[in-house]
């Protein structure tokens, strides 16, 4: 189910930005959706760091096959070595276990995230090894469905902006931030449609 703000955001973006209007029209009937489970969202985001979507999906499928009961307790019980055999790098496997320990031991403010500001959620998450700003932003978008996240370090966003707004020339972070001011407070939605312009199949976290 699409977020309750989705149609309103589409209308606003289409009014303000003719480029965005054309992209939105090209992808009817699909929208951002949340999986609902914070641990799974963050774990999938770690898998997806610095590898292609296809490679990430392959590794994730192996992890679920190896650990059908994908819970923080199960991940900590089986440990990094088993995860590494699924195709994770040793470092990512260690990140997985650290994330699982944080959830298992109640070290994150999970119950309060829904009522916290975006930056406060990010501050909480980056205390976990392997979770930086990009992963936290993916969590805000794909789990909490926050409407106004702009993941400036995301390569897909940078590529799409270059393609659609700068004739393929690379735009620096400052120019992307300035361009994106017209999308506020719906920058998550604009980012999601820019991703679709590069890959029509939605990424799932």
| Distance between CA atoms of residues 110 and 194, nearest Å | 30
Of the listed 154, 167, 172, 199, which one is catalytic?
154
- The DSSP code sequence of 119-170 is HHHHHHHTTSTT--HHHHHHHHHHTS--TT---TT-HHHHHHHHHHHSTT--
* Residue 154 annotated as catalytic: yes
| Contact between 93 and 4 (Cβ < 8 Å) | no
Catalytic residue IDs: 154
């Amino acid at each position: 189910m699409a977020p309750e703000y989705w149609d309103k955001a589409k209308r606003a973006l289409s009014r303000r930005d003719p480029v965005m209007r054309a992209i939105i029209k090209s992808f009817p009937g699909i929208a951002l959706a949340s999986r609902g489970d914070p641990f799974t969202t963050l774990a999938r985001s770690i898998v997806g760091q610095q590898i292609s979507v296809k490679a990430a999906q392959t590794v994730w499928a192996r992890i679920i096959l190896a650990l059908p009961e994908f819970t923080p307790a199960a991940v900590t019980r089986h440990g990094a070595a088993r995860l590494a055999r699924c195709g994770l790098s040793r470092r990512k496997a260690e990140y997985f276990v650290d994330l699982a320990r944080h959830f298992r031991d109640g070290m994150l403010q999970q119950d309060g995230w829904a009522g916290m500001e975006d930056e406060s959620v990010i501050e909480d998450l980056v205390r976990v090894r392997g979770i930086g700003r990009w992963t936290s932003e993916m969590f805000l978008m794909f789990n909490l469905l926050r409407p106004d996240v702009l993941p400036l370090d995301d390569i897909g966003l940078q590529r799409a902006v270059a393609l659609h707004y700068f004739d393929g020339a690379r735009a620096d972070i400052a120019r992307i931030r300035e361009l994106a001011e017209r999308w506020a407070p719906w920058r998550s939605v604009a980012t999601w449609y820019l991703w679709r312009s590069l890959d029509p199949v939605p990424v799932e976290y």
